[in-house]
Chain A
Amino acid sequence: MNESISTTDAASFGRRGLFRIGGLTVTAAALMAACGKNPAGEVGRVGDGPTTPTLPGATVDNSVYLRTMASIETSIALAYDRMVKSGVLAKASSTLPNLGDQTDMVKAFAEHHRTAADSFNALAVKAGATAWTCGNPHLDDVFLTPIFDRVEKGAVATDVAKAIEPSEDATRDMINLVVTLENLSSESCQALVGLVTEAQYRAKPMKFGVRSARQAALAALKVAPGAYVAPTDASAAQPGVTTTTEAATTTTAAPKGSTAPPPPTEIPLPVAIPSTFGGLAPITYIGGHGDENGVRLKLNFETPSLNSFIYAYATCK
């Protein structure tokens, strides 16, 4: 009833006028956004903070892959040099009494990795990059240095954890590291095949991968003589036969009611042929003395990826 007595002009202004103003506003805003040139000014600064650094471009190409492989091989060779220099491989192992002195074998392995590094660098130069003669910073800082420190020195006490002693069997830990690094080298070469874009960068690296795979198998047989194939493959081939390749259990729980310290993490024995096909799965390393709960250092080595690539802007330290 109210509407019927209101004037036509007032009703039109109230609703249609609003539409009109709204439409004009949107149109004007759109035109200004499309045609306007208003360069963003600098944000006002308060204080004297540093400017935001600009990260260099991280292009991933064949040369980066090849430089990374050279760095991995160099890191492995340097790790073996450190083992040989310390003389730990010549010492008797309480865990592996039949191991014997493996110094000469590891020296030969180191020489192979140096040759591989040179070859990868030659390929990297061919691909337009500069040679990388240092180790891989990520592999060194996150894996190798912590392992050597834990095995040789243990760990100091912190507010929340007791000190950890040096390894009770450094020889065992180092030969297991050799197996791990050979597997890493082999897997890394295998992974490279699917990454590079040209066939010429596949076959030669894979030759070094083949050699590393053989070295991994040989080192595994030194640690666990007769551990030729994985337990599952052995039982599938000869049903009912128990072999020496049974994997160790990894129980860490202390016996119920016992006051004795918990048993340390058990270290699985390596196998010469761990799987039917060469895999790219992470390689688990367990070593060092157990902490107050019996837990040893455990690390998963993986094939190179974004955080371990040697990009074009990186330089040797």
Chain B
Amino acid sequence: MDNEVTQTGVEMEQRSSRRGLIAAGVGGAALSLLPFLSGRADAADTTTTATPTTQGTTTTSTPPKRPTDSDIALLAAAQKAEFTAQALYGLAINRVKGWTTEQATVMTTLSGSHQAYANAFSGMLGRVAPNVADETILGKFDSTFTGSTDDVLKAAATLESALVATHLDILGQLQGVNGATQIAAIVTAEARHVTVLRDLAGSTTLSDLLVDTEAASLLGNG
């Protein structure tokens, strides 16, 4: 405090040079950081233009995650096919008599699964989801979902095989990753449906149970 009271013009000048020195010091420090900062900037530029991987960068471009415009039409068709399957199972469960407990359990479970698949597509598509069954496919399969329980099980297996073919068809055309992974999760489960339904219907041959011949795709039939 005494110093400030008694400071002279010389001291004022010294204080000015002191501020200058501090400023120079800060400036120098900033300069010394330049190479480091420029290196970081270079690194940032490199990483933002490449797909991050474990130890290097991939040489391929990253596909879109969300469905593209063309994907939306394909996923909408897939959803309609799932709603159709759910409707056909519902019709068969109600109008065919003589289901065993085991058969009824499988039919009800698979019906619920198709509802879940349709709901999953609905979640992905949002307001553009059709949320209805495909009347053309429904009409095509409706007459086969009648008769004895074994007849219906075989018809359901054919439908499931057609759904597998449809989803594989769609998978080959989808660009967005989210839609593709969803289709993959559904098609592996529906593949099992065919084997289960044919086993339940009494089939014993490997070619039949493992579906050596897949049904035709339903894409474009709706």
Contact = CB atoms under 8 A, between A and B. Distances in A.
Contacts, number: 218
B196 A30 contact: no
B63 A210 contact: no
Q: Chain A interface residue count: which class?
A: 35 or more
Q: Which of A8, A199, A207, A214 has the most CB of B within 10 A?
A: A214
B8 interface: yes
Given A8-B8, A272-B196, A273-B196, A210 B187 contact: yes
Interface string A230-251: 0001101110010100000000
B28 A277 contact: no
B216 to A, nearest CB: 15
A218 B183 CA distance: 22
Contacts of A214: 191-192, 194-195, 209-211
Contacts of B180: 193-194, 199, 202
Nearest to A22: B25
Contacts of A108: 206, 210
A23 B3 contact: no
A229 B210 contact: no
A218 B199 contact: yes
A238 B107 CA distance: 10
B109 A277 contact: no
Interface residues of B, number: 75
Interface in A209-223: 209-211, 213-218, 221
A190 B22 CA distance: 63
B210 A19 contact: no
Contact of B105 (A62, A216, A238, A276): A238
A198 interface: yes
Going nearest first, the 4 A-B pairs with the smallest beta carbon separation are A278-B188, A30-B32, A203-B172, A30-B28
A178 to B, nearest CB: 14
B14 A216 contact: no
Given A59-B59, A202-B171, A19 B191 contact: no
Contact of B25 (A4, A26, A272): A26
B185 interface: yes
Interface in A55-76: 55, 57-62
Nearest to A4: B2
A317 interface: no
B90 to A, nearest CB: 13
Interface string A9-26: 001100010011011101
A282 interface: no
Interface string B179-190: 011011111110
Contacts of A241: 101, 105
Interface string B197-212: 0011000001001110
B113 A276 contact: yes
15 contacts: A11-B3, A26-B28, A27-B25, A29-B28, A31-B32, A189-B188, A194-B181, A199-B171, A203-B169, A218-B209, A233-B112, A237-B104, A273-B109, A277-B185, A306-B54
